[in-house]
Amino acid sequence: MGFKRVRELLIAALAGGRYQHERRSAAAEKNLLSCGAVTANFVVTLLLRCRGDQYSASAHHFDARVRCHVFRPSLGPERWYVKAYLLGTDAVFISVHRSEEE
Amino acid sequence: MHFWKEGDLSQAVCEDCRRLVQTRFEVRGFPLEASGVVVPGVLVAVCTECGGIAALPAQSEPRLKEARERRKSQVLETRVPLHLEDMVHALALRFDTAVEMFRPHLLRFYLREVAADPALARRVEKLARSEAARGRARARVSLRLPEGLLEAARAQGRAAGLRTDADLVRGIIVAAAEDVLDGRAPERRARLSGAAQAEGAPRLRTA
């Protein structure tokens, strides 16, 4: 599955409320969507601003069967970091925050 | 918009089991990391293997956000003359609603109006100095406000010459009495009626 299809599925999950947040430490800093600091619409904007060369995919650090999708779009002067994986058409967000390399 | 139900099944990577597991949605207390406060009654995705919370569904975000922001709310404490408290009772009666429920809505409504309207802030300042607002401050007013609202109203009030929270509240109550009881501001009265109606008051009589 390529960049555009992944992005399309994530946007559909965000629009339809079919997403979850992985439980993680420092969620208030690392997943701004989970704590309501940014909205699902804002994350959709970030995904739409992302170019193909700002996208990458890698195995989940706990389970290599799970493919994680990383988006590093720029919005104004800020770079953002969005990391999620898909379960069919549902999404699970791991990170949504201003950029710093993870 | 999708809403998961208690008992629905899903999957997530469990931080404790360190792998993809099946999850079941259950209602649990959810601990807020920064404060340690446990928010009761939150739908979470529980790992069916270890029983820990593996994920949080989107629909639980607003409940947690509300709990976080409630902790950030501010309290306005002051005292006003008894006849101003009588004005609040008369206003509540005008909207056919219980004064205890109506009072915080009335004050928050007007604080928001003052914060957004320099002309109203100037009027409130004038009314706070008027004969109608004077008297021994006997009745206690205690009000919980969202973070930012009190500061915004105070800032607008200061720009208009209001020096204290007591003056702000006194001026607001007299302004509300003029607007609603004397019919000075029908448009504002209608919006305030909407707020009162949301608290169970009947629709405002037009007579």
Write the pLDDT tens digit of every residue in A45-95.
999 999 999 999 999 999 999 999 999 999 888 999 999 999 989 999 999
Judged by average pLDDT, the poorest of B18-27, B91-100, B169-178 is B91-100
Among residues B100, B116, B98, B84, which one has the least CA distance to residue B181?
A: B84
What was the pLDDT predicted at B194?
85
- Rounded mean pLDDT of B55-75? 84
A101: left (phi over 0), alpha (psi -120 to 50) or beta: beta
What was the pLDDT predicted at B172?
97
| Contact flag A22-B54 (C-beta cutoff 8 Å) | yes
Among residues A94, A99, A96, which one has the least CA distance to residue A79?
A: A99
On whether any CB of chain A is under 8 Å from the CB of B58, the answer is yes
What was the pLDDT predicted at B205?
57
Of B20, B55, B61, the CB nearest to A36: B61
Q: Phi and psi at residue B101, in whole multiples of 5°?
A: -80, -35
What was the pLDDT predicted at B206?
53
Length of chain B: 207
Distance between CA atoms of residues B165 and A87, nearest Å: 53
What was the pLDDT predicted at B64?
86
Among residues B56, B52, B44, B50, which one has the least CA distance to residue B7?
A: B44
Nearest-CA distance B18 → chain A (Å): 5
Q: What is the value of pTM for the model shown?
A: 0.67
* Percent with pLDDT over 90 in chain B: 71
- Rounded mean pLDDT of B51-56? 95
- Rounded mean pLDDT of A10-14? 97
What was the pLDDT predicted at A102?
46
Residues B70-87: tens digit of each pLDDT: 767 788 999 999 999 999
Confidence of residue B203 (pLDDT cuts 50, 70, 90): low
Residues from A contacting B (CB-CB < 8 Å) are: 16-28, 33-36, 40, 60, 62-63, 65-66, 85, 87, 90, 92
**Three-class SS string for chain A?**
CCHHHHHHHHHHHHHHCCEEEECCCCHHHHECCCCCCCCHHHHHHHHHHCCHHHEEEEECCCCCCCEEEEECCEECCEEEEEEEEEECCEEEEEEEEECCCC
Give the side-chain half-sphere CA count within 13 A for B94.
Answer: 22
Mean pLDDT over each residue of chain B, to the nearest integer? 90
- Rounded mean pLDDT of B36-50? 92
What was the pLDDT predicted at B187?
93
Question: Which residue type occupies A42?
Answer: F
Chain A hits for B63, Cβ within 8 Å:
none
| Contact flag B64-A23 (C-beta cutoff 8 Å) | no
pLDDT at B99 over 70: yes
Mean pLDDT over each residue of chain A, to the nearest integer? 91
Query: In sequence order, what are the beta bridge partners of B27?
Result: B43
pLDDT at B207 over 70: no
- Rounded mean pLDDT of A1-24? 94
Chain B hits for A63, Cβ within 8 Å:
13, 18-20
What was the pLDDT predicted at B101?
87
**Selected residue with higher pLDDT from A37 and B167:** B167
Nearest 5 degrees, angle CA B62-CA B64-CA B66?
A: 65
Give Cα separations from B115 to A20, B32, B155, B157, B178 (angstroms): 37, 31, 8, 8, 19
Q: Phi and psi at residue A35, in whole multiples of 5°?
A: -100, 10
On whether any CB of chain A is under 8 Å from the CB of B13, the answer is yes
What was the pLDDT predicted at B176?
97
Residue of A nearest to B34 (CA): A28
Give the side-chain half-sphere CA count within 13 A for B187.
Answer: 1
Of B10, B56, B61, the CB nearest to A23: B56
Among residues B58, B20, B60, which one has the least CA distance to residue A68?
A: B20
Q: What are A73's two structure tokens?
A: 């779009």
pLDDT at B92 over 60: yes
Chain A hits for B47, Cβ within 8 Å:
none
| Contact flag B64-A60 (C-beta cutoff 8 Å) | no
- Rounded mean pLDDT of B31-41? 82
Chain A hits for B59, Cβ within 8 Å:
17
What was the pLDDT predicted at B204?
61
Probe site for chain A from B26, B56, B70, B147 (most A CB atoms < 10 A): B56
Chain A hits for B9, Cβ within 8 Å:
none
On whether any CB of chain A is under 8 Å from the CB of B205, the answer is no
Distance between CA atoms of residues B145 and B148, nearest Å: 8
Residues B130-189: tens digit of each pLDDT: 999 999 998 899 998 887 889 899 999 999 999 999 999 999 999 999 999 999 999 999
pLDDT at B197 over 90: no
**What one-character-per-residue DSSP string does chain B give?**
-----TT-EEEEEETTTTEEEEEEEEEEEEE-TTT-PEEEEEEEEEETTT-SEEEEEGGGHHHHHHHHHHHT-EEEEEEEEHHHHHHHHHHHHHTT--HHHHHHHHHHHHHHHHHH-HHHHHHHHHHHTSGGG-S-EEEEEEEEE-TTHHHHHHHHHHHHT--SHHHHHHHHHHHHIIIIIS-S-HHHHHHHHHHHHHTTPPPPP--
